[in-house]
Structure 1
Amino acid sequence: MSQGAVLHLLCAFGFFHQCQTSLVQSQQLVLAALGDNTYLTCWLMDSKDVVQVTWQKIIAGGTTDLASYNKHFGQKVNTGFQGRVEIKSAGLQNSSIVIRNVTHQDKGCYRCLFNTYPDGAFTGRSCLQLYELHGPFLHVTESHSAEELVVSCSATGPPVPTVTLTVPHHNSTSVTNTNGTVTVTTTAVLSRLHDNSHRVGCAARVLSGRQIDVYEMIPEVRLSPPDDVPLITGLVVGVICVVVAVIAFCHKRKHQNSVSQRDLEENKRDTNEPRTPLMNPEVRQQFTSPKSERINLPTTPPNKRDTNEPRTPLTNPELRQRFTSPKSERINQPKHPERLKKNLFARQQNPED
């Protein structure tokens, strides 16, 4: 047997894999976030008669089979990896597997084997590296200066994340935490003289991993008033309250004085004007009886009236004249009008008398 045939046989049985790796292309380094799904892929560059493709994980002291795809029997996932590992690209010239919900135990290197006949096995290698990315967290706060805003964005990994802002002139700082993670914070100072609809963005990623972007609208900023403005405002409000109270008090006092003055004038007018006593039945009869009867009604002399009886002012001119005429004229008036009336009636019945 020739030397070339021996080398080919050794490669077919898995020895000296380096002599066949040049025919297989694979991702040398694959980054995956903790808890995500990740893909591993290998391509066989030459067209070969592939019988089976096998995926293995390299562990200390050897390898362990994850899954395989056979030309005649199809796909098979080994016990312990079912539900988490699956062959997605079920082909013989290229193959891909997916590892779901990756954990720290999935970190390491993997190998793909293209078993051909009669050329033997062709291998590829991919290493899975996990990263943790917490964030990014974007914040917009007010600065100590009344004319500035501070924009900050932070993210935590391992490995060390890259954090960038969409605004210029930003600075980054990193802090290593006690659990081994690294927090990177990027800050920038913005002027308040900006469009209120301005949007600030932050991007964070780890190595060549997936980039995560967050955005935030800068709120409308109003300049804070000087320190003495609240004091001045309080004084102005206090003065206004005092003025209003004084005006209300003066108005109330003026109203009370006007009411008292009006009552005083009414009382004074009542004492000056003559009071009208209640009318007795005879006087009331004079005002309610016909004029012809009122003329002949007897009157009671003023000196014989009851001094305690209320006096009623007379509005009839004739009656007023009786009280205002001299006493001598009032004495000559008939004292017995009823008797006189009967005599006049008798004379009318007997004209001869």
Structure 2
Amino acid sequence: MEKRFNEKKRIDRALQILKKEKVEALLINDLTDIRYLSGFSGDEASALIAPEALFLLVDSRFTAQAKLESHFFQTLKISKRIEDTITLINRLKIKKAGFDPHTISYADFRQFEKGLTKTALVSVEEGLRLLRVRKEKEEVKTIRQAITISTRGFQKMKEKIKVGLTEKELANIYESEVKKAGADKLAFDTIVASGARSALPHGVASEKKIGARELIMIDFGIYCQGYCSDETCTVVTGTPTAKQKEIFSIVKNAHDRAIEKIKPGISSQEIDKAARSYIAKKGFEKYFAHGTGHGVGLCVHEEPRISSLKKQILEEGMVFTVEPGIYLPQWGGVRIEDMVVVTKSGCEVLTLVPKQLEIIN
């Protein structure tokens, strides 16, 4: 059961997008945005937001649920989502409707174009993409709850790590423990990658058995009341080698330098640069091939993107990961990932597991 948030304030922000983009209505097709604005948690719907009315379009499977969950939207029972949405827009005589082109298929777009002969469809991608980027206090509180549950599961799993267990067995222990602790579900398939497999940034748990003196990269997260956690720890079975300690130290220093830079007004590219330039200085630039972080909220990957590819100014209330890594083929890899929230003067680390090279004996 998800918490109730202040959808009225969220709707007001959506209406500001409408004014800024000079459109008469917003056509929302992304289910996460629909849930954010209306509270509806079903798995098929469209929404239309106009100054005079808010519509949630669902078929007969979801009408009762929509009426129960969506306090500010008028629920419309439909049978054909695209055709019935076109009928509604035509009935309202909307001349200009904003939408996010990334949330609709080409086939559906062509159908809308064909049916909306008197309505111009205008991309408002930027506005909708940033709608959820600043988290409310209640959202951060819920994310903290997700992190607390996830931490319990990780600690329980860590107690059971031993040579000879498979990666899948460890992942299953985590999943079992977080569900006992109150998780709704996993945020993603748990990554447990050991030995040379830890060089795979998204090495989902396999049947490989954990060996002695191996690095184990564990990336884990859950959903709690609609919100995600996401964290990565790297541990070692037995006494670490000099190279394992060296690579871990480089990644940890890059991670810490990035976190030290975080504050309102700074560019996301500067955060990425703080981590990436340190890793490059140590000679491992080509082995860090992903962004330094990403937003986390209703989705495990959302805005802001902490990357060299995109400039985004940080604002108070943004929640995102900091997760530099080094991945050496045929040897292994290290990633350290924490979640942070931007505060008035800097940031707060939300995740709870200390980031040190923990030795599992």
Shorter-chain TM-score tier: under 0.3
Q: Of the two structures, which has the highest relative contact order with CA contacts closer than 8 Å and spacing of 6 or more?
A: 2
More strand by share: 1
More helix by share: 2
Q: TM-score, normalised by structure 2?
A: 0.22
Q: TM-score, normalised by structure 1?
A: 0.23
Query: Quick check: which has more Rg, 1 or 2?
Result: 1
